Amino acid sequence: MSMESLRDNAEESTLTENDSDSFIPIDEHEEYVAEEDGRKITRKGIYLLPNLLTLGAMFAGFYAIIAGINGNFNAAGWAILIAAVMDGLDGRVARLTNTQSAFGAQFDSLADMVSFGVAPALIVFSWTLGSLGNAGWAASFIFMSCAALRLARFNVQAGTADKRFFVGLQSPVAAGLVTFVVWVAYKYNIEPGWWTSLGTGLLTAFTGLLMISNYRYYSFKEIHFKGTVPYVVFVLAVGLLVVIAQRPHEVLFGMCAVYAITGPIIGLCKKIKARRKKTAAAEPNETAARSDQEGSEADPHL
């Protein structure tokens, strides 16, 4: 028997022994990581802390779906809020602790799809869009599919996009805008009528389109939590927390709504500014042409 056959038999016996050790065999996660000197090394396992936060965000999104289907829209709103907080923490914790990984990035996108794509669409459909029939589920599907497209585009452009801005409305904010409408209405016992359902459906579809738009939104990633800030900034943060604690439903919905409209406002201001620059650049040329024309009319030899 050759050495290759012996080696193959040894590998097969090892695999058989490993498979027999566990009822459900699960391979160890391996990931190629590029070092600073250009070498690629293999890293086994996953980082625990940031991925636990991502898992918590996914669990909160799943709980929001169950609560929404059962008609408990207050719990669904809180669950989406918790998912958004955990989603904001996992990335920052990974950067602060230097535990970023490709696995974590993909896991985060899948969790975002559950918490900020599927969950809000089903919550708003369970509350009122179901009464619109085909138009209702179409609006919910538009929102969910736009969330998927937004996340896919973000993953593709992550290495080249300007870190100061997001292209398109972030999915957590979009999820908050749609879900907190239901949250506020449920708090005040508002029964959705036909006009309420129609307005909610239009808002849901429009919010979905904002996610895949080219509007630029400030990312606030320039805020460095490791550095120092003026004392007044901390005082303002305390004041904001107090305001949110007084009326969390209304304040959080208002914050999401204001942030959502900043993208179109910034885009409109840029268009107006560009048009003014174009007009200002064209005026000297028109003035020079008019002067040449008047000079030629005043010259009798022409």
259 lies in some domain: yes
Please indicate, yes or no, if residue 281 is contained in any of the structural domains. no
Is the pLDDT at 204 greater than 80, yes or no? yes
Q: What is the mean pLDDT of residues 238-254?
A: 93
The tokens describing 28, both together, are 């160890």
Query: Which residue range is the domain that position 205 belongs to?
Result: 47-221+243-274
Please report whether residue 34 resides in a domain. Answer: no
User: Is pLDDT at 199 greater than 50 in this prediction?
Assistant: yes
208 within some domain: yes
pLDDT digits (tens, 9 = 90+) for 164-187: 888 999 999 999 999 999 999 999
CA distance 95 to 163: 14
Residue 273 CA to residue 268 CA, distance in Å, equals 9
pLDDT score for 95: 84
pLDDT band at 15 (very low <50, low <70, confident <90, very high): very low
Q: Let me know if residue 172 belongs to a domain.
A: yes
Q: Check the CA dihedral 101-103-106-111 and report its sign.
A: negative
Residue 23 lies in a domain: no
pTM: 0.81
CATH code at position 61: 1.20.120.1760
Whole-angstrom distance, CA of residue 254 vs CA of residue 157: 29
Structural domain tally of the chain? 1
Residue 179 lies in a domain: yes
Assess if residue 286 is contained within a domain.
no
Indicate the SS3 state at residue 30: strand
